[in-house]
Every structure is written in C-alpha cells, then in structure tokens.
A and B are shown apart, each in its own frame.
Chain A
Amino acid sequence: MTRSPHRSELPRRSRAALAAGRGVATLSRAAHLGSGSVIGGKLALAVDPLLLGRLSAGHDTVLVSGTNGKTTTTHLVGAALRTAGPVASNTLGANMPPGMVAALDRAPDDVTAVLEVDERWLPRVLGEVGPAVVVLLNLSRDQLDRSHEVRKIADTWRDALGRLATRVVVANADDPLVVWAAGGAPHVVWVGAGSSWTADAAGCPACGGRIDFSPTTWRCTACDFARPEPAWTDDGTHAVQRDGPRVPLAVELPGRVNRGNALLALAAADAVGVEPATAAPGLRRVREVAGRYRSADVADSRLRMLLAKNPAGWTEAIDMLAPAPRPVVAAINARIADGRDPSWLWDVPYERLQGRLVVATGERRHDLAVRLRYADVDHDVADSLEAAVRRCGTPDVDLIANYTAFQDYLDAVGREP
C-alpha cells in the first residue's frame, strides 16, 4: 500500500481544516461539552471534504463494520495489533467520518489505523479510505424507523467491495447477509464467528429462497448459496486455522459473541501481518469497551453494565448474564438514536429471563413491563436506575440498557473506570 502523503505533505487546505477542527474541539472540551472530536471532525470535513481520504493515505487501515459488536471488535483488533506496534483508533464509537477524521488527526504518521465504521457509511468510507483490511461482523435489524431494509445495506456493501481492491476482507461465515456482501470482494478470509440471530437472513439474498439453519451451518434450500468453509474456527479454547497452527484464544469479555469477535480480530491481525501467536495475548487486555462490561457501585450493589441496542444485541446480552436467580435491571429508551419505536422489544426472546426478577426502567419501562408480563417473567417497574437496583436488593446486579439509557447511566457512574 502506498504510504503518502505524510502529514507535512498534506495540502494547505487540509492542514487548515485540521487546525480549525482542533480549535473547535479544544473549545468544546473547555466548555465541558464532551471530547469535541465529533464537532471538530465535522468542521474539518466542512473545510476539506476530501480530508478522510487524504489522512488515511498515510496509514495501513483496518475498517470494522456490522450491526452489533463494532466498538468491541475495533478494540479487540486494536489490542491484537498493539502487540506489534502503535495503533490509532476511534475507540469511543464515533463511527462516522468526523469521528474517523479526529482519530486519524491524532495519529502519528505510519501507525496502523483501526476504524469502526457505521454500517450505512461503510460503502462511502471504503471508497475514500481504500483500506488494507475490512472486517464484516453481522447484519440485522436496527433502529427500524431509520433504516428500512437490512438487505439494502448488504447489497450496498457487496457493490462497494466489488469495486475496490481491498487487500483482504475478513468476514463472518455464519451470517448469510455478511457472506452475500463479502461475496463481491476478490479475497475473503472466512471466519466461523457464530451468529445468534437468524431472523433477518431467512430469505436467501441470492435467489429469495429459504435459508435452512442448523446449529453449525446454513444453506439455501433453493440455490447453491451456502456457508463457506471457514479458514478460522474456535474449538472452545483455541483459535484453529485451517492449514495453520492452533493458538490459545483467551477472552476476558463475556459471551459467545465476544469469542467470535476475538476470532475475527485475530484473523484481521493476521491479514495485516501480525502473527496470531503474537497477537492473541493482546486480546486479553480488553476488559471493558467504552463503558460496556464495566462494573460500578450503585445503591449498595455491584452493577455490571451491558449494552444492547436491538433484538440481536439483546439476545447476545442475555447470553452474557450471570445465571439465574441473579436479578436484572433492563432499561429502555426510545429517543432518535435508539429508534423512536420500541416495537422491536417483541422480537427479543425475553422468555429466557424466566426464573429471575427483572426490573424495568428507562423512559419506555412500561413497554418493557408489558413485554415481560407476556413472557411470564417476574418483573417490576422503577423510575430510576438507583431505584431499580434497590428493588433488586442483591449484592450483584446485571444491567442491560439500550443506547441512550446506557450513555445516561455511564454519565451517572462516571465514564472512567
């Protein structure tokens, strides 16, 4: 990959754009409005719309996209690559161009960049950045009143990947929509990363036929579209590379889904050129991701904080809970960033929470309470996080919150561990 221009060779307009962006970011921080990276990046892009492509030209870049697990996998890829050298990353989940510009602006020349990309922005970012590696996680329904069709996203990915000379696409072989999207790329490394959500992939993206899922594989019943044989699998303790060595895969983050994310990260590191045996120990350093998986003291209890934004994410988060009867606080908002319509609660298998107390909170706690009632789950309603934790009344409580509820609670308990 070409490695120019270096920072000093950027056009004057780009340097002016960056200076303006940094200035605004500093003001924003001084006014305690946040990190300022998004607002700074926005201004910089307004001054120089080509800035993202110009900045990324100086770096080997890994892009990470999908509906769920973007931020976590970006952290895991970063941790794997840091075993070999410095890395720049938009680790706080600012996953649209302004956030990427801010991350790259802070990056020294030549360090590898690992960038989380919103799934709707991926085609455009692919064109501007020309990444070395793209990691594709999964695609499922999210924020329904904004993003009408998951399949449309898969099609736009496929088009964009077909037009580009991305060195390697690392893709989840267990998600048919991801396999369809990656099918446009010339060189794909398939990873058996698992999938707990199949409802959005029941119709074959190739022919419209029905996809038949078994616990370990899937195939279309009408055409030859089927799960590709993965080059990487997880045998429960090790990452197993077809025609390659077995590497111990130890992950501190909970849940099967995070073992899958770690496996994808290892394959991505390998594609960048970092030996799996070198990269794998780095994965263990990730214990918390932008506040997710954090433990905090709330109302005399130890609260473990999980984030879930949509049905697939909730299904995965329920899989991460401590065993029953540990109580759960479940928090639902329906602001714009959450999707204004919480109908998706009926797509979540809340029946799996039977056998424990669930306390519903957040601005749409009553929608959740009704859902829990029909799921035959013992539940109550509380109007604040603290009241909800108190209602649980146990030393340890698990929290699952959707996006804006989680951000509010993170502000309340403190963003730093």
Chain B
Amino acid sequence: MSTPRDSVVRVGLLFPELLGTYGDGGNAVILVQRLRWRGLDAELVEIAAGTTVPETCDLYLLGGGEDAPQTEAARELGTDGPLHRAVARGAVVLAVCAGMQIVGRSFPGGSGRTETGLGLLDCVTVKTDEPRAVGELLVTPDAAFADLGRLTGFENHGGRTRLGPGARPLGRVVAGVGNGDGTEGVTTADEADGRVVGTYLHGPVLARNPALADALLAWVVGAPLDPLDDTDADALRAERFRAVEQGNLDGVAHRTWRDRLLRRN
C-alpha cells in the first residue's frame, strides 16, 4: 500500500492523558528514535483528547488506561472516524492493553456495561470471573510472526479477549495469561483489512521487543530496515527470559526469611 518514502514519518500518540497509565509514551519515543538513528526523519505527534484526530499520521499508538478514560477514548474515536480512514489508507496501529480492547468490537466498561469498540479488529473483550492478570507475560510467536522472536513484557488487565474469524493472534502464551485462551495478541487475519496490531504486553512493549518495533516501521517505510545496536535490549530480553524460566514471575528476587517474617519486601 505504501511506497518507499522520502518524507517525514509521523507517529501519532493518541490521547496520552487518557491512555497513558503505564509508560505508554515510551513506544512513541522508541519508534521515533529508531527512525532517527537510521537517518530517517520522524515526528512525534501527541494527539490530545478532545481535539480533532489528524488522518495524516503514518502510525498510531493507543496505550493502556483505566475503565472510564478507556470508554471516553472509544467514544471519541467512534466507529467510523479519522482513525478508521487513516487505517483504510494504510496507516499502522499499535494498540496496547486497554487500547487493544477498544479497537476490538466491544469491551467491558467501568459500570459493567458492554461498550462498543472501534471495530478495527475482529475480537471482543469480556469480563470473566478469572482474577486480574498481573505479571510477566512470555509469548512464542506464531509461524507468520517468527521474525519477531519471542515476545516479552508485563501484563495487567482484567478482561479476556476472544478472537473472531477475521483476526489471528500473534502467538501462544508460554507464561502469563494473554488473551485468556492460550493465545496472545490480536491482528488482522488479512492485511487488506488494515495493519492493526493489538497486545496485552503493556506499557513500553517495544522496549523489550525491538523486532516488533522494526516490523511496524518496515510496514510504514515499505522496505526492510537496517539493523541497529540493540545490545541493551538483548541483555534485558535475556534477563527476563531467565527470570521466567526460574519461575520468578513477579520480580521478587531476593526475599529472605527475615523479609518474610517482617512481611517486608
């Protein structure tokens, strides 16, 4: 859809005051930096709630948020608005946690009501009796996304997401909960239906998964990207993989008997 480009890549961070609970702005910083380090022009566009959403960004980011702001964000974006037109034009969307829930067909709002989502992904999110999913999440990508490598992050969500026939997951859960049925993440089954990626790997998911960042950027740029020095991210990934293997899913590494006795962490 898009062609190799010579102009500035515009990264739109949607409603940071509504969908920015978990360091979500980090994904925008990461995408812009990875373009600039490669000598490509990039611009970070913060799109405030209540303002007109520009249709001209190349990539849109939706982050995590609480129930009420999440519902407000979905209301503002509507079911046929500027974001839908941008996606139809070929713009890429990364929707994280609450952001993924609202780009689906429906999601549970704060008052227990089912809210209408943007319908960009064929999935529904429901409230179940399961406890809130909080902790490390490790995912093996499906064959179609093998280039991404293992996906690692933290999850913190109450809802469970069911995929329809027009959607497919990013991969299978190794540790954690993800969508709730053993799969994690949602994207369109057919790229012609839009380049929209959703995940429960919350907050700055691209910090731990630079290959995912580059996959999104390659879509935008329309060509493979030169490799970057990801030494720090590689070390972080190795450390997190090790933590999951050791069953250290909650980051509590060195609690001694003394800590336990004093209920100190």
A335 and B252 contacting across the interface, CB-CB below 8 Å: yes
A370 touches B232 (CB 8 A): yes
A229: Cβ under 8 A from any B Cβ: no
Expressed in whole angstroms, the minimum distance between the Cβ of A67 and any Cβ of chain B is: 15
Residue in A33, A148, A336, A370 whose beta carbon sits within 8 Å of that of B207 in the complex:
A370
Whether A149 and B23, one on each chain, are in contact in the complex, defined by CB atoms closer than 8 angstroms, is no
Assess whether B265 is in contact with A404, with CB atoms less than 8 Å apart: yes
User: Which B224-265 residues have C-beta < 8 A from chain A?
Assistant: 232-233, 235-236, 239, 250-255, 258, 261-262, 264-265
CB of A145 within 8 Å of the partner chain? yes
Is B17's beta carbon under 8 Å from chain A?
yes
Interface residues of A (CB under 8 A from B): 33-34, 38-39, 141, 144-145, 148-149, 199, 202-203, 210, 333-338, 340-341, 343-347, 363-364, 366-367, 369-374, 376, 381, 404
**Given A340, A347, A374, which contacts B251 in the complex, CB threshold below 8 Å?**
A340
Instruction: Check A367–B262 contact: CB distance below 8 A.
Output: no
CA gap between A364 and B235 in the complex, in Å = 11
Say whether B264 contacts A374, CB under 8 Å. no
B21 within 8 A of A: yes
Contacting pair A336 B203 (CB below 8 A): no
Contact in complex: B253, A335 (CB < 8 Å): yes
Closest B residue to A341 using CB positions: B154
B38, chain A: closest CB distance, angstroms: 14
**Using Cβ atoms and an 8 Å threshold, which residues of chain B touch A34?**
262
Contact A340 B135 (CB under 8 A): yes
Could you pull out 5 A-B pairs where Cβ atoms are within 8 angstroms? A199-B17, A334-B251, A335-B251, A335-B265, A341-B203
The answer to whether B211 has its CB under 8 Å from any CB of chain A is: no
CA distance A266 to B60 in the complex (A): 48
Q: Which B residue's beta carbon lies closest to that of A379?
A: B232
Docked-complex contact A370 and B265, CB < 8 angstroms: no
In the complex, per-residue mask of B128-167: 1 if CB is within 8 Å of any chain A CB, else 0: 0000001100000000000000000010100000000000
A202 and B16 alpha carbons, distance in the complex (Å) = 10
Q: Which residue of A lies closest to B36 (CB)?
A: A376
CB distance from B33 to the nearest CB of A (A): 5
Closest to B22 in A: A343
Chain B contacts for A199, CB-based, 8 A: 17, 20
The residue from A203, A333, A337, A370 contacting B17, defined by CB atoms under 8 A apart: A203
With A335-B252, A370-B236 already in contact, the answer to whether A343 and B30 are too (CB < 8 A) is: no
* A33-B232 contact in complex given A341-B154, A343-B23, A345-B23, C-beta closer than 8 Å: no
Q: Which one of A34, A335, A345, A381 has the highest number of Cβ atoms from chain B below 10 Å of its Cβ?
A: A335
Q: Are A343 and B250 in contact (CB under 8 A)?
A: no
By the criterion CB–CB under 8 Å, are B255 and A335 in contact? yes
Please tell me if the beta carbons of B207 and A366 are within 8 angstroms of each other in the complex: no
**Docked pose: A383 CA to B233 CA in angstroms:** 16
The answer to whether B25 has its CB under 8 Å from any CB of chain A is: yes
Residues of A within 8 A of B18 (CB): 203
Which of A337, A338, A343 has the most B CB atoms < 10 Å from its CB?
A343
- Closest chain B residue, CB of each to CB of A39: B262
Q: Provided the pairs A210-B50, A343-B202 are in contact, do residues A366 and B232 lie with their beta carbons within 8 angstroms? A: yes
For the complex, give the distance between the alpha carbons of A38 and B261 in Å: 11
The CA-CA distance from A404 to B255 in the complex, in Å, is 11
- Interface assignment of B204: CB less than 8 Å from any CB of chain A: yes
B251 in contact with A346 (CB, 8 Å): no
**Known A149-B66, A374-B29: A363·B251 in contact at CB below 8 Å:** yes
Nearest CB on A from B246, distance (A): 13
A363 partner, pick from B21, B253, B265, beta carbons under 8 A:
B253
Contact (A366, B23) CB under 8 Å given A38-B262, A346-B207: no
Contacts of A404 in B (CB 8 A): 265
Is the beta-carbon distance between A340 and B207 smaller than 8 angstroms?
A: no
Q: Which residues of B contact A333 (CB under 8 A)?
A: 251, 253
| Residue from A38, A39, A144, A346 with most neighbouring chain B CB atoms (10 Å) | A346
Enumerate chain A residues within 8 angstroms of B207, measured Cβ to Cβ: 346, 367, 370-371, 374
Docked CA distance A338–B254 (Å)? 13
B48 within 8 A of A: yes
Nearest CB of chain A from residue B200's CB, rounded to whole Å: 13
B78 at the interface (CB under 8 A from A): no
A366 and B239 contacting across the interface, CB-CB below 8 Å: yes
Q: Which residues of B contact A39 (CB under 8 A)?
A: 262
> How far apart are B142's CB and chain A's nearest CB, in angstroms?
25
Interface centre among B48, B156, B264 (most CB of A within 10 A): B264
The answer to whether A340 and B252 touch across the interface, beta carbons within 8 angstroms, is yes
Give A340 to B22 CA distance when docked, in angstroms.
12
**Interface assignment of B119: CB less than 8 Å from any CB of chain A:** no
A340-B252, A346-B26 known; A145 vs B203 contact (CB < 8 Å): no
Residues in A neighbouring B262, C-beta threshold 8 A = 33-34, 38-39
Chain B residue, CB-CB nearest to A211: B17
- When C-beta atoms are compared, the residue in chain B nearest to A343 turns out to be B203
- Which chain A residue lies CB-closest to B240? A366
Query: What is the CA–CA distance of A336 and B262 in the complex, to the nearest angstrom?
Result: 14
Report chain B residues within 8 Å CB of A33: 258, 261-262
Given contacts A210-B50, A337-B265, A363-B251, 5 further A-B contacts (CB under 8 A): A335-B265, A340-B252, A347-B25, A369-B236, A373-B232
Which residues of A lie under 8 Å from residue B156 when comparing CB positions? Answer: 144-145, 341
Residue of A nearest to B210 (CB): A370
* Pairwise interchain contact A347-B253, C-beta atoms closer than 8 A: no
Q: How far is the CB of A208 from chain B (nearest CB, A)?
A: 8
A148 and B23 contacting across the interface, CB-CB below 8 Å: no
Q: Is the CB of B239 within 8 A of A343?
A: no
| Cα separation A7 to B29 with both chains bound (whole Å) | 59
Task: Report yes or no: A210 in contact with B22, Cβ–Cβ below 8 A.
Answer: no
Q: Please, what's the 1-or-0 string for B3-14, where 1 marks a CB less than 8 Å from any CB in chain A?
A: 000000000000
Most chain A CB atoms below 10 A, which of B23, B154, B255, B261: B23
**Among the interface residues A39, A367, A370, A376, which one has the most CB atoms of the partner chain B within 10 A?**
A370
A295 CA to B241 CA in the complex, in Å? 37
